[in-house]
Amino acid sequence: MHKIESAKLLKEVMTNYFVGMGDESKKIAWCTSVGPAELLRSFGFEVYFPENHGALLGTTRTSGDYIPVASKLGYSSDICSYLTSDIGSYLSKDTPMMKHYGLKGVPKPSVLVYNTNQCREVQDWLMFFAKEFNAPIVGVQSPRHLDEVKKEDIENVTAQFKSMLPVFEKASGIKFDIDKFRETLKLSKEATFLWKRSLETAKNIPAPISFFDSTIHMGPIVVLRGTEIAKHYYEVLLNELEGHVKQSSGIIENEKTRIYWEGMPIWGKLRYMSELFAKHNAAVVASTYCNSWIFDDFDENKPFESTALAYSTIFINRSEKVKQKVMENLINEYKINGVVFHDSKTCFNNSNSRFGMPQRLKEKTGVETLVIEGDLCDLRFFSEAQTTTKIEAFIEQMN
Ligand code: SF4
């Protein structure tokens, strides 16, 4: 059993990133988590991700203070609690980034960019801030829930990416440079590949990293992809994890059961969940959530088309049929004994238990499934006692 030492470097990397957001000499682009970050970085923008801020509000358990503030403005507390936490935090003129990183508030955007490949919520969310900051906003309307990916889909998204270039040129004051874009995309591809290999170390028994650790270690691949910093970070992390694999050192003491967590994390209960599973010798080794920032299709030789392909084929944007296939593969490759579906109250987009998937998956693979109710940020939708009882009974059943 070990602690992941790279966490120290991670803290440094993430602190520098957030502190950098306070540098008013830099132009900042706001981007959705699976938006075209590489394209933005090629214009020299620093990229800020409101969803990452939402996760910070969840982790620091400050969401509960802010959600009602956004609700008063008409943003229902049944919609994405990243959105309501983030807008509520803005309206309250308060964010943990002030206390932890010395910022004056959220960074002022020069441009805002969304991609509806994950959900339509991000569009409304960024529109709110575009109005507040009187800043330009552009977005990609992605074809949704793809079964097969058609040539027309990729052409459509490619054209939308290209149409944003004049807006980015104007906001950055820099002319588009395809070589810079290729370079950024290559860096992003390399980092994403290292991240993939880091996650895949958990295929080993015992697993050297758990889902709960991965939700923290994925920080750089979300906010710094397209930079040397992210690439370097994942070289360090992978190197450490491979060392643990060689020594057969697991992230938990006595791994007996292997779990796949499907859906969003419960940010305010990460530690609790991590300790609960570990106490019962269950390692949570796989997820589609952390895999969402693996972009195998990036190709600097076809920068626009490959970006369109990579961002259109993310798990959340696939059909039920494709999603089930992805899940079956994870169960097989990670030698999974049970799947826990998190039915996240305010994110139906990334809750895959509502249309019979747990039952179909069990029928197909023979692996036990469990659905727990909760939320990414809004802890009013989470019952610790009820969830603990369910998870304990589930693990018991597998043993
Ligand atoms: S995918 Fe879910 S959690 Fe993410 S922004 Fe959309 S609604 Fe919110």
DSSP class per residue in 290-332: GGGG--TT--TTSHHHHHHHHHHS-GGGB-HHHHHHHHHHHHH
CATH 3.40.50.11900-classified regions of the chain: 180-398
The CA 119 to ligand 1 mean position distance, Å, reads 6
Provide the whole-model pTM: 0.96
| pLDDT range class, residue 399, cuts 50, 70, 90 | confident
The token pair that represents 381 in the structure block: 């939708």
Asked if residue 209 lies in contact with residue 241, where contact means CB atoms within 8 angstroms, the answer is: yes
Measured by CA distance, the residue closest to atom 6 of ligand 1 is 119
Q: How far is the CA of 255 from the centre of ligand 1 (A)?
A: 32
For the beta carbon of residue 274, count every other beta carbon within 10 angstroms: 18
How far apart CA 395 and CA 388 sit, in angstroms, is 11
- Strand pairing partners for 30? 48, 112
Task: Give the dihedral sign, CA 357/343/263/308.
Answer: positive
> Quick one: what percent of the chain has pLDDT higher than 70?
100
Residues near 324 by beta carbon (within 8 Å), at least 6 away in sequence: 357, 360, 361, 364
Between the CA of 124 and the centroid of ligand 1 the distance, in Å, is 11
* Res. 272: pLDDT tops 90: yes
298: which strand partners?
none
Determine the average pLDDT of the residues in 336-355: 97
CATH domain 180-398 topology = Rossmann fold (3.40.50)
Q: What confidence score (pLDDT) does residue 159 get? A: 98
Please report which helix (H) or strand (E) contains residue 369, including its range. Answer: strand 368-374
pLDDT tens column, 2-49 = 899 999 999 999 999 999 999 999 999 999 999 999 999 999 999 999
Side-by-side strand order, sheet with 137-140: 46-48, 28-31, 111-115, 137-140
Res. 154: pLDDT tops 90: yes
Q: What is the mean pLDDT of residues 280-292?
A: 97
- What is the per-residue pLDDT across 46-97, written as a single tens digit (0 to 9) for each? 999 999 999 999 999 999 999 999 999 999 999 999 999 999 999 999 999 9
Q: What percent of the chain has pLDDT over 90?
A: 99
Residues of the chain with CATH 3.40.50.11890: 7-176
Question: Residue 1 above 90 pLDDT?
Answer: no
Under the banding of pLDDT at 50, 70 and 90, the label for residue 324 is: very high
Interval 220-241: pLDDT, tens: 999 999 999 999 999 999 999 9
Q: Is the pLDDT of residue 168 over 90?
A: yes
Ligand 1 site residues (CB inside 6 A) read: 51, 80, 82-83, 118-119, 121-122, 347, 349-350, 376
Mean pLDDT in the chain? 97
Indicate the pLDDT class of residue 277, thresholds 50, 70 and 90.
very high
Phi-psi region of 145 (alpha: psi -120 to 50; beta: other; left: phi over 0): left
Q: What is the pLDDT of residue 181?
A: 98
Pocket test for ligand 1, best of 57, 122, 293, 318 (most atoms within 8 A of CB): 122
Q: Looking at the CA of residue 51, tell me the nearest atom of ligand 1.
A: 5
> Cβ distance 349 to 314 under 8 Å?
no
How far apart CA 207 and CA 399 sit, in angstroms, is 18
Decide if domain 7-176 falls under CATH 3.40.50.11890. Answer: yes
